[in-house]
Amino acid sequence: MSNGENRTINTGGGNYNEKIQGSYIQGNYYAAGKPQSLVQAAGEIQALLKQLETSYPSDTPARDMVVATEVVKHLESNPTMKQKVINAVKEGGLAAFEKAIDNPAGAFITGAVKGWQEVKNS
């Protein structure tokens, strides 16, 4: 800054550059060697969704809810995976998790995860 002020910017562990010279590409960056828990958790949910969609066709919102309910039941019966999803969402955010799932049932699943977070925080 030109007037000599100091300021602190919390980047959540990333780098901040006041003056960018050259090309700049905006995006989500992960520290090298750090597990991409959101991507991994979403991948596991996607695999589960594909498996369930063979038994429960997902072509209407009502059927999407049935598939999502089965995913939620699976997560609730697997505390390790459930916690992994909660931690991934805490780290990366609900919207990013829903987008990473990339499935019509995703909104229903993220709703359940949001509920789990609210219960845990209260």
**Across all residues in the chain, what is the average pLDDT?**
79
Average pLDDT over residues 86-105: 90
The string of pLDDT tens digits covering residues 14-62 is 555 556 555 555 554 444 433 478 889 999 999 999 998 888 877 888 8
The answer on pLDDT for 9 being more than 80 is: no
Q: Note whether residue 40 is domain-resident.
A: no
pLDDT score of 47? 93
Q: Note whether residue 6 is domain-resident.
A: no
Q: Note whether residue 20 is domain-resident.
A: no
Domain count, the chain: 1
Domain range for 94 is 61-121
How is residue 49 written in tokens?
């969704």
Q: Note whether residue 90 is domain-resident.
A: yes
pLDDT score of 13? 53
Q: Note whether residue 88 is domain-resident.
A: yes
Contact (Cβ atoms closer than 8 angstroms) between residue 88 and residue 117: no
What span, in angstroms and rounded, lies between the C-alpha atoms of 33 and 107?
30
Contact (Cβ atoms closer than 8 angstroms) between residue 107 and residue 61: no
